[in-house]
Structure 1
Amino acid sequence: MRLTLYISLYLSFKCISAATDLRSGNCLLQGRFKLNGMYQDGDFILGGLFEVHFFTVFPDLSFKTEPEPPYCEIFNMEGFQHAQTMAFAIDEINKNPNLLPNITLGYHLYDNCVMLGMAFRAAISLGSGTEESFSNLNCTGPPPVIGIVGDASSTPSIAISSVLGLFRVPIVSHYATCSCLSDRKKYPSFFRTIPSDAFQVRAMIQILRHFGWTWVGLLYSDDDYGVYAAQAFQQEMQSFGLCVAFLEFLPHDNNLRDIQRIMGVIQASTARVVVVFAPSSFFIPLMEEVVLQNMTGRQWIASEAWATSLESQTPRYLPFLRGTLGIAIRRGEIKRLHDFLLRIRPSSDPGNNMLRIFWENMFGCSFETVLKETDGEQVKKMCTGQEDLITTNTPYTDVSGLRASYNVYKAVYALAHALHDLMQCEEGRGPFSGNICADITNMKPWQLVHYLQKVNFTTGFGDHVSFDKNGDALAIYDVLNWHPSSDESIRIYTVGVVNEVTETGMVLKLDEDAIYWNFETKKAPRSVCSESCPPGTRRATRKGFPVCCFDCLPCGDGEISNTTDAIECMVCPDEFWSNIYKDQCVPKDVEFLSYEDPLGISLTTASLLGTCFCALVMIIFALHRHTPIVRANNSELSFLLLASLKLCFLCVLLFIGRPQLWTCQLRHAVFGISFVLCISSILVKTMVVIAVFKSSRPEGKGAMKWFGAAQQRCTVLVLTALQIVICTVWLSTASPTPHKNNQYIRSKIVYECAIGSVAGFSMLLGYIGLLAAVSFLLAFLARNLPDNFNEAKFITFSMLIFCAVWIAFVPAYVSSPGKYAVAVEIFAILASSFGLLVAIFAPKCYIILLHPERNTKNAIMGRETHKK
């Protein structure tokens, strides 16, 4: 708003306007600005705006007479070099037969005196022309200038582009960096060969990322440059996951209390890297406090505003600022520019007042006096004799670090290449409506803007020049490093380049061996809030802290992280598990009850021992088959019971080893049939005992005819056949199969036999339990029957053991994981089998082997008679 008001007031009082002479039909110039300038005629004219003076002085206003025009003071040698570089570039183009052949470029260069008003006056003069009269009222023909190089500052560039942009006059700035100028809607014809502040921030981010500096302090100047740069820097830091450890602005009034407070913040912070966006005038007071408090151990990162500042390069700051890394606009080399600058002579072009001002400031003598021969040959000789005193010891002739001048050089060539491309247009293939080309005799500024947008060339120094859709050139920065020198001063070396590549964005190239580090280790410092989390862990952000401050938590079981600073741990696939370091998924161990397992060996041994005991008892019974104790209760059932017990012991071997389809199908079938055969034999033996007792009484003499040998065999076969039917139906409908189970133990694969049908398995066990319950009940009822050797008592005891084992089996089996569930089932089989073997046959073997005198009918009957 203030800028608009200033321009409006300015145009109200002092503007270039034209009045029409009705008699002649000409437009006459009503006034002329007093501007310092340089001029050269040509077929096409390029305009230029440069900071040749530092200050503008406005005379006092009396409001009685027309005010005197403002004038400029304090000559800027470096700014004059920029203007001369444009003149050199145009001279070089005019001599180049391959670029704009048969066309001569001229220039009108003006001094803006680092003042918005002066810059705007000069721009209006360039845009409207300075001819005394203008007769072409149809406004045909080429414009006064086809393009403007400048301004050097952002604020004048904004004002000039806002006005001249309405007429699409191409403007190519060499030093205006404000990101706001990238707005194509507001500034449709603005271009620049210097990167915007946004690119400067991105270039600095590339340096931070290269060295892994994620925890960075930020200082910025209390002005527009610092505020906008700091905001952009914070946004870029956040987008790349970097963090600002502290954020402080450097006061413009250099308040000591504020400076001391900032020093305390820097010293208290764990950040070893400090980025500073500020001109040297803001930074120097802080450095004085750094020297006073002798604060070392910090890596300073300099923005373009002070990376090459001479004020900071003093021996006093050497111990603290050596090793500083900074970025600066690209330094280039322009061949023959130095010779061109040395050839400047005021006598060669007396009409250019900018040359006269330069000469007077260089040698302190009036150029007008020299030109007046009547004032004496001695005066003329005295002044002109000093023309050879121009040396390389001035900012004007120093071409060792061409940065802004190099951008001027590229800007001139960009306009020249655009004009060249415009002139190469073939009729009928033009880019404008109707495929027409631009009329070189009546060229419009917007037509040159079209070609300027598509400029693409390479300088003699090897830098690529083109503009993006916003008019910004591809960003390129030099990375600078401050080295100490032998004379206790600071020397700045270029150690790398940050270049914007269209395909990949910002690319950083560094010569790390050339970097000087101001640390005892002579290596790059570490500046992180938290050290990186190694593989096998994940980052957990600390509550209330930036994302760069985190804890490293180990991955859970079955999870891994194989990268540094992993955000989340990855879950391993079903058949894999994390290793001990939690950085790799490895195949899970497959667990089953094997013959090599100590538990498997123990159970196999018990199974074989039981089988051997059964065989031994069978041998004893076979050898004593004619004795009363063997013949009692049907010796055939005893041998059948021993055979079934042997099968019970042997079926255990089907439960051990890697599950296979045939073992899974056989193990439960053999187990079920064997136990039913065993329990059926015991049930029949119990029924025989009861029948024998009843037949000894008068009322039950016919009981034994229902329990003869044939009936006993038939009963056993029928009861066993029912179990066979159950197993057959089960195996044919839902057969047990090998199954890899991940549910019991997540870290292992339990290889087991899935039962297939719960109903089938339940019927198998239920049928065994039913027979066992009936046998136990009958044996219990017959336990007190009078007999010398009461078989019912042993059967009762054996069935009590059997039922107790299998009742305890159910909860133990359900709660046992993996291979231990199989072990529990095997243990139940072995325990119940040993219980039946010992309870029923141990007393008989005891009498047969140790007390044969009791193995007689008389002994048995005698005891019975004694009892009666």
Structure 2
Amino acid sequence: MYNYEEMHDLDHARQIESIWVCKAYTAKCSLSEPFQLSHQYYQTGDFTIGTIATQYAFIFEEIGFKKIPTIKDIDRLIARPKYYQHVLSSVFAIKEINENSQILPNATFGFHIYDSYINARMTHQNTLKLLSSQEKIIPNFKCDKQKNLIAVIGGLDSEISLYMATLLGIYKIPQLAYCIIAPVMDVKNQLPSFYRMVPSEEYQYTGIVQLLLHFQWTWVGILTMDDDNGDQFVTTLMPMLLQHGICIALNEKTPPVSQAIEKLSFDSILKRACYLSNSKIKVLIVNAENPTITCLTWTIYLYVTLKSITETSVGKVWLITAQWDFSLDIMLRAIDIQVFDGTLSFAIHSNAVPGFRKFLYHLQPNAEKGDDFIRIFWEQAFSCSFSGSKEVKQTSDSCTGEEKLDSLPGTLFEMSMTGQSYSIYNAVHAIAHSLHKMYSSRSKHRAMQDRARLDVSNLQSWQIHPFLRSIIFNNSAGDKVSLNEKGELAAGFDIINWVAFPNQSFASVKVGMMDPEAVTDQDFTINDKAITWHNTFNQAQPLAVCNDYCYPGYSRKKKEGQPFCCYDCTLCPYGKISNQMDMDYCFQCPKGQFPNSNRDQCLPKVLNFLSFTEPLGIILTFLILSSSVITALVLEIFIKHKDTPIVKANNRNLTYTLLISLLLSFLCSLLFIGCPQTVTCCLRQTAFGIIFSMAVSCVLAKTVTVVLAFMATKPGSRMRKWVGKSLANSVVFSCSIIEAIICVVWLCTAPPFPHLDTHSLMEEIIVECSEGSVTMFYCVLGYLGFLAIVSFAVAFQARKLPDSFNEAKFITFSMLVFCSVWLSFVPSYLSTKGKYMVAVEIFSILASSAGLLGCIFAPKCYIIILRPSLNSREQLIRRNT
């Protein structure tokens, strides 16, 4: 059937063949219809608690309807010795109750335990046996040897539980299951006699999502059985994962065990095991129902063997649901369990039960009466044979009965109670406490002073339902046991980290819990430092993503045709940042902050204004003060030589006014330096405009005076009446008052004010004076320009007049400088920002003022100081002649 030529060597082929068709336990019992199996464990008592356990799994040949059914041999028996603890926990709990004088002291509990064999026919058959009075299946028949069945515990998975419930529900017998997944959607209404001694599977789904989000795993695979439960698991979990941004990289369904063994070739199995070779998938979520784990273990073993690799090379993080308890089939006991090293699983919360370990130490296979499981378990677990055993062994070792259970590896048997055994233990106690509560309530209405033996003959199992639904008690381990409104255990799940060692032993470490009963911020807790990862990850937390994270400074960009978890990382655009991993969008910094060079952090902006303490401010201040001092010296020189011809020429008072205006113009530049305030903003442009308009008006008045003076010298000229101080004063006053009116209107309508510009410069906040009304600002400058142009035009016309009597030539040059400076000011002013804009305006004021001062007064100061001989009336007359 199988092609062994593709294997690496013959030894591997023989090894696989021996395991593939091995018979862990062959019953070889000739059966009549229906099937009869002898595996049971019973003990009589006043009340009987039935149990359908799951220790073995038979693989039956499928029977069709094309021929009459014949006697069949039950062949392959897959056994898990670890499940024998389920039987022992039930027996121990009943023993503990019978020894407790506080719980129904005048009644005893018995038990009757059958196996389900993970088979529908056998589960129905053995459930009917529990309902029958004798070994023969005769339900509804009462006799003297009635078992007085009070409740039934089982089964391990949802299907077995449903098979039992279809029969037990007819008789309203309480069924306490320990299956993680409910057999039907609406258990409370569809199965009113059904209870589960495990938490709701909804908490497990939520826990899986929270665990993935905690580790930031967004690229995961899902393994389930190819059946209704597997479909239900995927249907429920997948929307929750997608809703929280987790992508499903793989959704693989494992075939049933019978199909895997009988029908699939090695090539088919290896093809299905692509998730083991896919290095990109680091995390696999396994719905750990019994058949799924069995097939998964088989697949891993075959994959490792056929590929000639070690189990440790299959570096995965197995995230397994609470059905798993790290047990192996007897035929796979040789598998290297380190493939499951670092596994994270959910587990039914359990605690150390006092006396259970001691109970296991005193267990003897030859001393137990009525137990058909123990000898088979003993032979399988210790690989030995009792005398007269039907099991065919390759070894000749004989069982002595003195073997120690604590010497077995954890995959075959554990000395501490597992989560499933703990659920069975609590189920037995819940039944006992319910009966005790029921009889305690009756004692309030009856006189039971003589404490006579309880009358159990008339007790009906359905009568304990009200008490079972409301049961609340503390077990011997100190845990509170109660059921919620859905008949499920009101508790959460533990998160277990499984650490496997080379000697086939393992340790289970509780690293967290999912407790819906806790407060909101403590319903999910996990200790990262306590987790041991698979050695292929070098004890570093695995990275389960489609691609690397986008670090701060980058944002995610979706890849076309790929799941949303797959993306490219793009650098944030200029001016934006991202300060977390895997951000979808970059964002602007808050007002007053700017991005750093890596675009992953916002830094506070510095204030940008022209300060007196910075180099540029110091230089400009020095120039302003120097120019002011020079202007003051010139004024002093002219006052000192006020009676000289060169000072008296062309209206001495205008000269003084002009020099004072220039001095104030230099000094008003200081208003532009320093942090802008409301007063300084209002005075900056207005003071400059009025003072400078007065200076330009003086220049215009000088020019007009010179022109009129020469025109008045002509015979018969009518201009003589215009020549005089009154005309000059009128020109200065009228031209200045217009500028003053413009400034007053500006201040009254839309005055300048301090403003913070947070957008113009990336790393700085410009502290500036907003002009308030840009129109009024340009009106002030425009009027100054108009005066300057008029002065320039008049001076240009008078430039050829004799130099000894007028300064028109110098005024022409000064106006030329003035106009050049302010024409270049406008584009420079508009193209700069912040303190440099202020510096441009200050420089323009200084340059234009210095131009007037230098062009008009420098030649005169030269004559007054260095050529005083030229500053005499005779020299002026001689030059004029």
Q: How many residues end up aligned between the 2 structures?
A: 794
Could you tell me which of 690, 694, 698 is aligned with 2:715? 698
- Alpha-carbon deviation of 1:641? 0.8
C-alpha distance in 2, partners of 1:451/1:625? 123
- Provide, for residues 155-200 of structure 1, a one-character-per-residue CA deviation record: whole Å limited to 9, x for no partner: 2322443565577543211346457466544334422234576666
CA contact (8 A) 1:58 1:70 kept: no
**Partner residue, 2:693:** 676
Against the structure 1 CA distance between its residues 599 and 223, is the aligned structure 2 distance closer, same or farther, given a 3 Å change threshold? same
Q: How does 1:609-648 map to 2 (within 5 A)?
A: 609-648=626-665
1:308 to 1:583, Cα distance in 2 relative to 1, 3 A: same
Q: Residue in 1 aligned with 2:327?
A: 308
Corresponding residue for residue 175 of structure 2: 171
Structure 2: which 5+ runs fail to align?
Answer: 1-33, 390-397, 446-454
Is residue 193 from structure 1 mapped to residue 210 from structure 2 by the alignment? no
Query: In the TM superposition, what is the alpha-carbon distance from 1:645 to its structure 2 partner?
Result: 0.8
Alignment partner of 1:99 is 2:107: no
The verdict on how the C-alpha distance between 1:67 and 1:547 changes in structure 2, with shifts beyond 3 A counting, is: closer
Kept in 2, the 8 Å contact 1:151–1:174? The answer is: yes
> CA separation in 1, counterparts of 2:592 and 2:78?
80
Q: CA deviation at 1:592?
A: 0.5
Partner of 1:154: 158
Select between 630-639 and 104-113 the one with higher mean Cα deviation: 104-113
Equivalences for 1:745-764 in 2 at 5 Å? 745-764=761-780
Distance 1:401 1:311 in 2: 20
Report the Cα offset of residue 677 of structure 1.
1.3
Alignment of 1:368-447 (within 5 A): 389=401, 392=404, 400=415, 402-403=417-418, 404-423=420-439
Aligned partners of 1:756, 1:240: CA distance in 2, in Å? 52
Mark the CA change 1:597 to 1:445 in structure 2 (over 3 Å): closer, same or farther: farther
Classify 1:723/1:86 alpha carbon distance in 2 versus 1 (closer, same or farther; 3 Å).
same
Range with greater deviation from structure 2 (123-132 or 825-834): 123-132
Distance, in Å, in 2 between the alignment partners of 1:274 and 1:187 is 33
**Residue 514 of structure 2 is aligned to residue 500 of structure 1:** yes
CA distance in 1, matches of 2:821, 2:245: 65
In 2: Cα distance, 1:133 partner to 1:269 partner: 61
Cα distance in structure 2, aligned partners of 1:863 and 1:399: 130
Q: CA deviation at 1:604?
A: 1.9
Q: Residue 651 of structure 1: CA displacement?
A: 0.8
Q: Which residue of 2 aligns with 1:434?
A: none
Indicate how the Cα distance of structure 1 residues 537 and 724 shifts in structure 2: closer, same or farther if over 3 A, else same: same
SS at match of 1:279: helix
CA positional deviation for 1:737: 2.8
TM-score, normalised relative to structure 1: 0.76
Contact 2:435 2:464 in 1 (8 A): yes
What CA deviation, in whole Å up to 9, does each residue of 1:434-479 have, x standing for no partner? xxxxx99988877744443443444333444333444343343573
Q: Is the CA contact 2:301–2:335 (under 8 Å) kept in the aligned structure 1?
A: no
Q: Structure 1's 441 and 650: CA in aligned 2 closer, same or farther, altered over 3 A?
A: farther
| Partner of residue 28, structure 2 | none
Of 306, 311, 315, 1:298 maps to 315
- How far apart, CA to CA, are the structure 2 residues paired with 1:219 and 1:60? 29
User: Contact 1:328/1:480 (CA < 8 Å) preserved in 2?
Assistant: no
* Shift in CA distance, 355/795, structure 1 to aligned 2, threshold 3 Å: closer
| Deviation of 1:685 (Å) | 1.3
Distance 2:837 2:399 in 1: 108
TM-aligned CA deviation for residue 610 of structure 1: 2.2
Report if the CA contact (8 A) 1:423-1:440 is conserved: no
SS at match of 2:190: coil
Identify if the C-alpha distance between structure 1 residues 309 and 206 changes in structure 2 by more than 3 Å, giving closer, same or farther: farther
Deviation at 1:800, TM superposition (A): 3.1
Comparing 545-554 with 672-681, greater Cα deviation is found at: 545-554
Of residues 242, 248, 266, the one that matches 1:256 is 266
Residue type of the alignment partner of 1:50: A
Partner SS for 2:759: coil
AA matched with 2:815:
M
Return the offset for 1:655: 0.7
Q: 1:344 to 1:722 in 2, by over 3 A?
A: same
> Does residue 490 in structure 1 map to residue 504 in structure 2?
yes
The Cα offsets for residues 795-838 of structure 1, whole Å up to 9 and x where unpaired, read as 23322332333233233323321112211211221121122222
Inter-partner Cα distance in structure 2 for 1:244 and 1:560? 30
Aligned position for 1:116 = 120
Which residue does 1:287 correspond to in 2? 301
The equivalent residue for 1:818 is 834
- CA distance in 1: counterparts of 2:205 and 2:71, whole angstroms: 44
The correspondence for 1:601, drawn from 618, 623, 629, is 618
Query: Structure 1 vs Structure 2: percent identity of aligned residues?
Result: 35
Q: Is 1:741 equivalent to 2:757 in the alignment? A: yes
TM-score by length of 2: 0.75
Preserved contact between residue 365 and residue 401 of structure 2 (Cα < 8 Å): no
2:707 aligned with 1:666, yes or no? no
1:807 corresponds, among 820, 823, 839, to: 823
Counterpart of 1:688 (choices 705, 710, 715) is 705
Matches within 5 A, 1:719-868: 719-785=735-801, 790-849=806-865, 854-856=870-872, 860=876
Q: Which moved more, 1:184-193 or 1:629-638?
A: 184-193
Q: Which moved more, 1:499-508 or 1:153-162?
A: 499-508
SS in 2 for 1:753: strand
Shift of 1:656: 0.8
Q: Is the 8 A contact 1:327 1:480 kept in 2?
A: no
Q: 1:759 to 1:41 in 2, by over 3 A?
A: same
Write the distance in 1 (CA, Å) between the matches of 2:319 and 2:724.
Answer: 113
Residues 557 and 569, structure 2, Cα contact 8 Å, conserved in 1: yes
- Shift of residue 45, structure 1, vs aligned partner: 4.6
Q: Distance in 2 between matches of 1:164 and 1:108?
A: 15
Partner of 1:479: 496
Rounded to whole Å, the distance in 1 between the matches of 2:844 and 2:862 is 26
What residue number does 2:360 align with? 338
> How far apart, CA to CA, are the structure 1 residues paired with 2:784 and 2:721?
28
Alpha-carbon distance, 1:692 to partner: 0.8
2:127–2:167 Cα contact (<8 Å) kept: no
Q: 482, 487, 503: which is aligned to 1:466?
A: 482
1:153/1:123 Cα in 2 relative to 1: closer, same or farther (>3 Å)? same
SS in 2 for 1:740: strand
Shift in Å, 1:667: 2.2
Alignment correspondent of 2:53: 50
Name the stretch that deviates more: 522-531 or 126-135.
126-135
- CA apart distance, 1:223: 5.3
Identify which range, 160-169 or 110-119, moves more after superposition.
Answer: 160-169
CA contact (8 A) 1:313 1:490 kept: no
Contact 2:327 2:412 in 1 (8 A): no
TM superposition shift of 1:589: 0.2
The residue aligned with 2:20 is: none
Amino acid of the structure 1 residue aligned with 2:790: V
Return the alpha-carbon distance in structure 2 between the equivalents of residues 817 and 355 of structure 1: 92
Alignment correspondent of 1:376: none
Distance 1:455 1:845, change over 3 A: same
- Confirm or deny: 8 A CA contact 1:279 1:306 kept in the other structure: no
